Structure 1
Amino acid sequence: MIRALSPRLRMRFAFGLIALLLIVILAREATARWAQMSQWRGLAETAVSLERNPGLSVERLRQSAQARHIELQVELQDEAWHVRGSVADEKVLLAWLQALQAEGVQPLQWGMEQAGKQLRFDLQFRP
């Protein structure tokens, strides 16, 4: 069928086909770049929202302690928090304190004493 066309018409058909393929390639590249830019924009928005959110709230502190079976009483002071509580195992308390430090908590003072089978602790930190 193509051989029946004149050479001039075949050239137009070839250039048209090449132009169509270039348009498809450019459109695919443009949509891929648009999707990539949308991902970066989403990541940037997430990073900004993380910077605005406070690192630790009283509720998160209580949930974290409750998950480790630590009893807490929290008193909010000016820039520091005063936490009193009890725990059955010192290893659990140490792991909890290390998790808090990984979240950016700065311990200021702390103490611990044995009370029967429980350990009582007194902690002052800056969130």
Structure 2
Amino acid sequence: MPRENGFGYAKEAVVQVNTLASAVLALSVTFRKDLASHAGSASLAILQWSWALLIAALAAGVFVLLALTGQLFKETDAKPADLYATGLRTFWIAQIVSFCAGMALFGIFGITEV
């Protein structure tokens, strides 16, 4: 697989996670009155933490895209772009962990409020 394809696949994965995070965030904020009309303070805290983690996933995703761009633009013949560079990998892991944690908390909120 050529290196450019690897960077393209990485970009698409990051964009898909950002799309999912923003969609869940937008819909849950839009319908928060319906979702949390009878929620207790603990459930509301779970929902707010879910939102915070989804926002963190979006921010980390933007940084991943910036790091991908930086890797591609600093590529030379002597030093090829590194898809596994530390800065890139750190933001990528942060995005996945915060997205999964945010979705888990959103799921917990949904289960407790059904």
Is TM > 0.5 for Structure 1 vs Structure 2? Answer: no
* Larger relative contact order (CA 8 Å, sep ≥ 6): 2
For normalisation by structure 2, the TM-score amounts to: 0.31
Greater per-residue strand proportion? 1
Bigger radius of gyration? 1
For normalisation by structure 1, the TM-score amounts to: 0.29
